[in-house]
Amino acid sequence: MSVHDVPVRTLDGKATTLAKNKVLLIVNVASKCGFTPQYKGLQELHDKYAERGFSVVGVPCNQFGAQEPGSAEEIREFCSTNYGVSFPLLEKTDVNGKNRHALYQELTAIADGDGKAGDVMWNFEKFLVAPDGTVVQRFRSQTGPEDEQLQKAIETQLP
């Protein structure tokens, strides 16, 4: 199954699917986390590669230390005001557990660089998706957007 086949909802609650024929970096995000400053680098990545068919997709999640408690409007305002976020944000989503969203069923099946698949460990875990919807690589939270390996992996997928 391709991640393009999984129905998702925008932060506004509108039903949609992920952009086809684009390289995507899907990231579970939170506004009150030590990794929250990664929003700045994620926006920079989005801007750097957007013209080549790339998009960051933020997925707010409140499962890690209740670090994303806000409403959709509060999340949008926080991201826009503090980090100038223009990349798509989906509705608040469970990435682990019995209510894990179908998107994360697909994403978490891929292993990270240490060969570990399964549950998302914390906020700002990143999943690189090829234009055909195949999940190709997983990066844990500690890998920031400016990381050379992450950027090389993105570039490998771009035309």
Average pLDDT over residues 146-153: 98
How high is the pLDDT of residue 132?
Answer: 95
Residues 6+ apart with CB under 8 A from 32: 67, 68, 69
The predicted structure's pLDDT at residue 2: 87
Distance CA 74, CA 41 (A): 21
Q: Domain 3-148: give its CATH superfamily.
A: Glutaredoxin (3.40.30.10)
* Catalytic annotation, residues: 33
Coil, strand or helix at 44: helix
Question: How far is the C-alpha of 104 from the C-alpha of 26, rounded, in Å?
Answer: 10
* Domain spans in the chain, listed from the N-terminal domain onward: 3-148
Q: Is 149 exposed, middle or buried (0-12, 13-18, 19+ CB in 10 A)?
A: exposed
pLDDT digits (tens, 9 = 90+) for 9-63: 999 999 999 999 999 999 999 999 999 999 999 999 999 999 999 999 999 999 9
* φ, ψ at 54 (rounded to 5°): -125, 150
Alpha helices in 50-147 (DSSP H): 72-83, 102-107
What whole-number distance in Å separates Cα of residue 5 and Cα of residue 3?
5
Is pLDDT above 80 for 1? no
The pTM of the full predicted model, rounded to 2 decimals, is 0.97
